[in-house]
Amino acid sequence: MKLPSASIYAQLPTERANPRVRGLDRMSVIKVVRAIAREDLRVAVAVGRQSPAIAKAAEAAARSLAKGGSLVLVGAGTSGRIAVMEAAECPPTFNTKPSQIRAVMAGGRPSVFRSKEGAEDDPKAGRRVGAGLRKEDLLIGVAASGITAFVRSALKAASAKGCVTVLVTSNGRPPGKPASIVIAPDVGPEVVAGSTRLKSGTAAKLVLNTLTTAAMVRLGKVYDRWMVDLRPTSYKLRLRGVRITALLGRVGPKEAEELFDASGGSVKTAIVMARLSCGARKARSVLKAAGGALRRALGERQ
């Protein structure tokens, strides 16, 4: 893949000067902070306008996971680090396996902690990522510019394997068809021209949070507003699991803790045990028959 020309980069909205922060270096610190805050307010609105595309991607992600596929997030620089963070946070929140939702950072693991900006210009590395996927997998490429060689090559290779592909960018829809689904919130020029760790990074974080959470809701990993499929890997998460068990199981704190322990730390199982007055084995069987959906297991209308 040929790298984009200098003129193409110069035309990107995030490379342009933001007229609303003219004279930034002459402002007082409080005015700089307020200017950044005002610009950040625009991000949530821009992401909200992409709701149809995000919903389409979330549906595709849920289908992929339901078929045994994986979600693979790829990116470079800030975009890559946000992808890594998203993938890392799904297991404790939704009890997914690390292999189900994983991230690949341009330049490898060391680039997560120390900048290796030239890695984004390596199309061969991107192609290897995409070519290593299965048809059931879904690739999400995160690239503020929308034209990062590492990400675009990964998307192209994954598409050739028959995968659904998603591009998350903040510079409008790139020419051609870079992905099956393009999510492109228009965040406009950055406060510091070209510094996409600012509004573009915030937009990418919001998009990925929304996309994965919506997919997990679709897969039954959320009941009402509660994360009933959490993994109690910390004291805080254990306490949360017991509280949710008490609330949804309609039992007292002490009984909830006993049920939670008897369930092996599974909130869903503990709730079914409480509501159906059964043991852990029976509760797991009921949940399995319900496809893991707690409402269905409890005989409630979906």
Q: What is the token pair recorded at 21?
A: 């922060």
Pair 105, 79: CB distance under 8 Å: no
H helices of 20-173, in order, are: 29-48, 51-66, 77-94, 110-113, 123-131, 149-160
Show the CA angle centred on residue 38, arms to residues 36 and 41, nearest 5°.
Answer: 110
**Residue recorded with tokens 């690239």:** 143
H helices of 147-293, in order, are: 149-160, 199-218, 235-249, 253-262, 267-276, 280-289
CA distances from 183 to 18, 142, 169, 216, 265 (A): 22, 10, 6, 19, 37
* Main-chain dihedrals φ then ψ at residue 143, nearest 5 degrees: -150, 110
Instruction: Please report how many Cα atoms fall inside a 13 Å half-sphere around the Cα of residue 103, on the Cβ side.
Output: 25
Burial class (CB in 10 A: 0-12, 13-18, 19+), 117: exposed
Pair 65, 95: CB distance under 8 Å: no
The residues that are catalytic are: 89, 120
How many C-beta neighbours within 10 Å does residue 233 have? 12
* Main-chain dihedrals φ then ψ at residue 223, nearest 5 degrees: -115, 120
Amino acid (1-letter code) at residue 184: A
Q: What is the token pair recorded at 103?
A: 């991230």
